Structure 1
Amino acid sequence: MMHQHGIGAWIAKRRLKSAEKVALIHGEGATLTYGQFADAVDRISAVLREQGVGKGDAVAYLGENSPEFLQVMFGAAQLGAVFVPVNTRLAPREIAHVLTDCGARVLIHDPEFADRVADAASAAQTPHLVVTGEGSSQRPGLTRLAGEAAPFAGPVATDHRDPAAIVYTSGTTGKAKGAVLTHGNLTWVALNCVVDYDVVSTDVALMISPLFHVASLGMGALPVVLKGATMVLEKGFEPGRALAQIERHGVTMLSGVPTTYQLMADHPHWSSTDLSTLAKLTCGGSAVPPRILNAYEARGLSFSQGYGMTEASPGATSLPPSMTRAKQGSVGLPHFFTDVRITDVTGEPAPTGGVGEIEIAGPNVFPGYHGLPEATAEAFTADGWFRSGDLGYLDDDGYLYISGRLKDMIISGGENIYPPELEQLLGEIDGVTSAAVIGVPDERWGEVPWAVVTVREGAAVDTDTVRAYLDGKLARYKLPKNVVIVDELPRTASGKVRKGDLRARFGA
């Protein structure tokens, strides 16, 4: 008998333990039980096998939250294949990079992305393109293929060391790096959530964040499946609809970013919606502003906040609701099966309260970047701790506080933006002689990217021309919200731009 110790075994075990329990609610109230979910996953595994997918092969998926997203992930896992969720906001060239880098054997995509994926898949030489739904007579879709597939022959042997997913995180060199997450990584991050967020089988989780984000996948969907709870899948976020779904389905769990929660609290239906079932709110991306805390506390609700990154699958710390006010500004304690430490510039442990680099260890921490041994080696200390590139300190009680980012990453509405990716393209614009991208505080999005540039005399460069040039080359959330022209960029003696000076000048 084949031993499936990875997440590919979860759905079959759920069918065994809770076949009649509702697993998924989607659309306008359609439901799938765990038994139906497992049968659908088996059919997807059979389809993938017919497409030549075997152990270690990459299966890419570009689509909104749907049952198919999760069926493909678990269907790939049953074959020992590697699931590659693709951000739906990426431009064609960014999609092509992901497909090429992971060597995707199959790309499954929603129909609305057909135009975007055609050239990307061609450039990446992806062998198989499959559209979700029924498809057409010339090109049958995933639903039809699943209905016609031969019976699933059974799972492939996997263990916790095998790769389960590759999640792409924007790199500081301008191209996204694929973080390899193993079956063990995803199992342990789910266990961390079950322990620290008290996930139970009677929970109903509203999934308003995209599943292609590792937080929504690793800390949202997976703990729910592990416990046999119920997910309400939403294709996108609309605050009024989210409020209606909470009331309609008796939602108990909700995850989002500060912007999500602010838009809900600002909605006209906020005060009239029955939120009495809501018990577990988690917020990531950036700290919850006091205004939002006040609005939710007025309705008897409080947040778990946390800190993490793709490389930690992604959870590293969590701040329980009971400590939201007592430890305001903190991102909490390390998750139950995870450790966090702070080191100084020499790599030695920093004293309590001393600012240094945040380092993370635990079974949820990834083994490395796909095909990038040097970047992987640089990401870990000699004793095996992941170097986050973020600065922080621990207080006397062991609570973590974030002080800044070594990598100058911008977090806008929960999306990570890495300035070098933009700076590289800004340098291609006629008339731009140098460029630096910084994050500027924004009430709605937390922070937004601004471009600070120097230009050739007489060149016609402004915000509109820059955005027009970048549009289509990058996801729209990465486009600079403002372009500032300066005589020269402040630099260190070695020639590096002093971004701290720019943030002080433009970010106040």
Structure 2
Amino acid sequence: MASGRRLSYRELRDQAQSNAALLSQTLDFKQSRLVLLHFGDHLDNIVWFWSVVYADCTPVMSTPFTDNVEQRQKHIQHLHSLLKDPVCITSSTSLGDFSGQDTLKPIIVEGLLPRSSSEKPNRYISTSAVNDPAIIMLTSGSSGNAKAVCLSHEQILAAIKGKASVVKLDTRTAFLNWIGLDHVAALIEIHLQAMYLGMDQVHVPAAAVIADPSSFLNIVSRHRVSRSFAPNFYLAKLRQSIESNDLGIEKDLDLSCLSYLASGGESNHTEMCSVVANLLHHKYGAPENVIIPGFGMTETCAGAIFNREFPFYDICNGLEFASLGKCMPGIHMRVTRAGVATLAHPNEPGNLEVSGSVLFKRYYNNASATDDAFTADGWFKTGDQAIIDSAGYLKLIGRSKEVININGVKYLPHELETAIDEASIAGATLSYTVCLSHRPKDSATERIHVFYLPTYLPEDIKARVETLDAIVSAVMLQTRTRPYVLPLDRQALQKSTLGKISRAKIKTAFGRGDYAMSQTRNDELIHSFKQRQGLAQAEPSSELERFLEREVCGVLNLSAEDIDIDDSIFSMGITSVDLIRLKRNIEKQLPPQKTFQ
């Protein structure tokens, strides 16, 4: 990249040691103190990460702050308390993130000046033990305030060695990162692993590759990248770019160097991802198994379980969503039966738990969360529902709190979201759909709620209604339940750097009433439009129609509000067996002599 900067590992060390000397001169710095790094630039994060390490302090990688002023200030207050009044360093370009509060007073790194021109870097002497925190990473805080995960020296080294054993890479190639260094995968799986292997690493802004997938492919080819990652949503973007013959893709593109495209953070749709793997292989020379779905968490130093047999294993086993494979060295997994804490049999669902040398030991300053996170025998409770099949491959089947339960029938949100995406609805932005359950007051069951990012302008009511109808149809075909559908703006549907939208945050905000005005406005617009167009939901107009409505609802397990009397029953996901049941019920209760007014 012409506008990029190249920095050797020797230059990085020298610069970090000089910075460490400057940091050590400030009044706030003491050995082993926590230092919150808040930068929006890859290079700044890397240079000052090592500067803090050379100052013998513990770096804490700050996550991006929200645009919501009130929430941002609460987050800063929480960090101040959680991290016990940490030192905070930032750049002049990121200083505005701290405006409107005086809880954290960051040090601007551009303002650090040596006391004398003869000041020399300090020689690095660590006072840490192998089990002490080397880095502290913040969780997303999707279900509440962020937790601080202590990653020890010993744990990080075990994780890097395990990751390096998954796929042997040509050391003449490079690693490519495009997500923030606040994410554990970018810091440990890319930056530190590349250093461990003595390989080059390329860092580019996320916005550059997300907006232009062809640039990702060009960078891989140009810099001979062997290791990078692409979540499911980004693989879909790559597919679209390749299949549309994107003119931005360089004509001499060669991906024979790309050995390992890790994919995680969300479920991988087998069919879609296998198409991408096939395109990368046949058009550009990548290995057939270049896409490697996996599982990991901040607590496991990112990816720790990998499927090296994708897509062959998954296609042969008819999996709609890719398996996550087997454990790398340094981690063990098990599935236990819910409530009884005994091991589940192969293919039996239960709670996923992990242990091993790559697993963290504690959350910082949060003993209760640490205690809650582990079983009595020391296994970490991931919070995922899973099965381990007879071949020892892991498959997630949902989060324990994300299952949607409608009249005793359970649905997985990501499967409904995939169904909506695959419907190719013009008014809904691909991969910006969130499905969750909500139980209205006095309701006997939960109801599916769908939130989506519209592609149409707010004043285009026709497109709004058409999108609503299309989403309702897609969900009813899957669940026979009419969902509540609400468009939200991009700020409400913010993605993490790995492409995840927090269902928990959306659900909390909805329950708190944050979207009440949007709901009222949306309902009014749709109702008014349908009234003008004569499309308002029709109510039964006779005893016969009321009878038929009851029978259809009974067979399909729907409520009256879920259907319109003019709806086609085939749009509700009815099966041939359901039709036979419906016919028999009607014949049984509607004798030939029975008449309705």
TM over 0.5, shorter chain: yes
| Structure 1 counterpart of 2:8, one-letter code | T
| Structure 1 counterpart of 2:431, one-letter code | W
93-102 or 217-226, which moves further after superposition?
93-102
For 1:7, the equivalent position in structure 2 comes to none
Offset, 1:53: 2.7
Would you say the 8 A contact 2:432–2:493 is kept in 1?
no
Mapping of residues 394-433 of structure 1, within 5 Å: 394-408=388-402
For 1:326, the equivalent position in structure 2 comes to 313
389-398 or 93-102, which moves further after superposition?
93-102
1:367 aligns with 2:345: no
Offset, 1:276: 3.1
For 1:258, the equivalent position in structure 2 comes to 232
1:32 aligns with 2:7: yes
Determine which of 203, 228, 233 is the counterpart of 2:198: 228
1:338 aligns with 2:322: no
Q: Which runs of 5+ in 1 are unaligned?
A: 1-25, 411-437, 456-461, 487-500
Offset, 1:210: 1.7
1:169 aligns with 2:163: no
Would you say the 8 A contact 2:21–2:55 is kept in 1?
no
SS in 1 for 2:100: helix
For residues 54 and 83 of structure 1, the distance between their equivalents in structure 2, rounded to whole angstroms, comes to 13
Number of positions where the alignment pairs a residue of Structure 1 with one of Structure 2: 422
Offset, 1:154: 2.4
- How many percent of aligned residue pairs carry the same amino acid? 21
Offset, 1:151: 1.9
Mapping of residues 475-494 of structure 1, within 5 Å: 480=506
User: Any idea what the Cα deviations from partners look like across 1:417-451, whole Å, max 9, x if unmatched?
Assistant: xxxxxxxxxxxxxxxxxxxxx77615333753668
For residues 147 and 222 of structure 1, the distance between their equivalents in structure 2, rounded to whole angstroms, comes to 32
For 2:542, the equivalent position in structure 1 comes to none
| Structure 2 counterpart of 1:183, one-letter code | H
393-402 or 144-153, which moves further after superposition?
144-153
Offset, 1:388: 0.7
For 1:4, the equivalent position in structure 2 comes to none
For 2:93, the equivalent position in structure 1 comes to 112
For 1:63, the equivalent position in structure 2 comes to 39
Offset, 1:286: 2.0
SS in 2 for 1:326: helix
For residues 493 and 95 of structure 2, the distance between their equivalents in structure 1, rounded to whole angstroms, comes to 15
Q: Which runs of 5+ in 2 are unaligned?
A: 316-321, 405-412, 422-429, 442-450, 453-457, 459-485, 521-557, 563-572, 574-597
For residues 471 and 446 of structure 1, the distance between their equivalents in structure 2, rounded to whole angstroms, comes to 11
For 2:263, the equivalent position in structure 1 comes to 283
Q: State the Cα RMSD in Å.
A: 3.8
For residues 343 and 48 of structure 2, the distance between their equivalents in structure 1, rounded to whole angstroms, comes to 43
Offset, 1:231: 0.7
1:190 aligns with 2:157: no
User: Any idea what the Cα deviations from partners look like across 1:391-416, whole Å, max 9, x if unmatched?
Assistant: 11111121111111114399xxxxxx
Q: Which structure's relative contact order is higher, taking Cα pairs within 8 Å and 6+ residues apart? A: 1
Assess, with a 3 A threshold, how the Cα gap between structure 1 residues 145 and 28 changes in structure 2: closer, same or farther: farther
Offset, 1:270: 4.4
Mapping of residues 81-480 of structure 1, within 5 Å: 81-91=57-67, 92-93=72-73, 94-103=75-84, 105-120=86-101, 122-123=102-103, 125-126=104-105, 128-131=106-109, 135=110, 140=111, 150-171=120-141, 174-237=144-207, 238=209, 239-267=213-241, 268=246, 269-270=248-249, 272=251, 273-289=253-269, 290-300=271-281, 301=286, 302-320=290-308, 322-327=309-314, 329-345=322-338, 346-408=340-402, 441=417, 443=421, 444-445=430-431, 448=434, 452=438, 480=506
Report the TM-score when normalising by structure 2.
Answer: 0.63
Offset, 1:334: 0.9
Larger radius of gyration: 2
SS in 2 for 1:61: strand
SS in 1 for 2:11: helix
Would you say the 8 A contact 1:208–1:242 is kept in 2?
no
Offset, 1:468: 8.4
Offset, 1:50: 2.0
For residues 347 and 58 of structure 1, the distance between their equivalents in structure 2, rounded to whole angstroms, comes to 37
SS in 1 for 2:215: helix
Offset, 1:347: 0.9
SS in 1 for 2:50: helix
Offset, 1:339: 0.6
